[in-house]
Amino acid sequence: MDVGIRPRSDDVARLPRQAGDVLTTATAPATAVPAPPGPRPVPPWVLGIVVVVLGAGVGALTEYLQGALDDPWAMWANSVAAWCVPAFAIGALAVRLPIAAAAGIATELLLVTAYYVTQSAQGVPHATSTAIGWALAAVVAGVVFGVAGAWWRGREPRRAVGGAALLAGVLVSEGLFRAVHFPWQGDSGVIMAGVGLVVAAVLGRSWGQRLAVVGLLVLVVPLGLLGIEGVNWLFAAW
């Protein structure tokens, strides 16, 4: 005979919890979502070939085109902004910032060297101080636009916007400078500024990024204009 009362199965749920009781629930282990792979840099030997071909080729081609192009396209062969494009492209291929900066510098120095070597081969005189000045400018441009290219190709959206704005901004800045300070180059300046806006649209990966790049030009373009004035002042004082 039972002397105690055993709880029915439906009474178990009503029993009060005692101290030390632990309720556990079976849960599936959390699965981490892997981050998307970042862009892969080109092999070093490929990057080296592109640096040499692009740097030396564009430098020599610049000297040739200065006597071959007519307005409004002639200004592209006498443009600081146009020379910044190769460093940006090299930085985008390099991806990693230190390599992008170093490769950008190498590209810009090759541009300057090939340009003046081609001039000398054609018997065109040039001042050594001017060549040194442009070599120093090439180092700065190589770092800035090499890094900008790497930023643009990277995964981080804000850096991508900043990199695109730097390249678009230097084109818009020089275009506006030419249109305002050299009226006879007005058409050339408008074309270059327009190309800068097209670059801003093309390099944006979404409509949001495109709007962000254009918005950032409000800051980048005035800085670019100040930079042009500064470079002109330094060369005048050199």
Model confidence at 2: pLDDT above 70: no
Burial class (CB in 10 A: 0-12, 13-18, 19+), 153: buried
Residue 231: closest CA among 96, 149, 136: 136
For residues 178-186, average pLDDT: 86
Q: Which residue has the higher pLDDT, 125 or 187?
A: 187
Measured CA angle at 202 (ends 197, 88), to 5 deg: 85
Select, from the ranges 30-39, 181-190, 207-216, the one with the highest average predicted confidence (pLDDT): 207-216
pLDDT band at 48 (very low <50, low <70, confident <90, very high): very high
pLDDT band at 18 (very low <50, low <70, confident <90, very high): low
For residues 46-62, average pLDDT: 94
pLDDT band at 23 (very low <50, low <70, confident <90, very high): very low
Q: Count Cβ neighbours within 10 Å for each residue of 23-35 and write b for 16 or more, e otherwise.
A: eeeeeeeeeeeee
CA gap 89, 134 in Å, rounded: 20
Model confidence at 89: pLDDT above 70: yes
Model confidence at 103: pLDDT above 80: yes
CA gap 143, 138 in Å, rounded: 9
CB 105 within 8 Å of CB 139: yes
pLDDT band at 126 (very low <50, low <70, confident <90, very high): confident
Residue 137: closest CA among 89, 170, 96, 95: 170
The residues near 165 (Cβ < 8 Å, ≥ 6 apart) are: 200, 213, 216, 217, 220
The string of pLDDT tens digits covering residues 130-140 is: 889 999 999 99
pLDDT (0 to 100) of residue 142 = 97
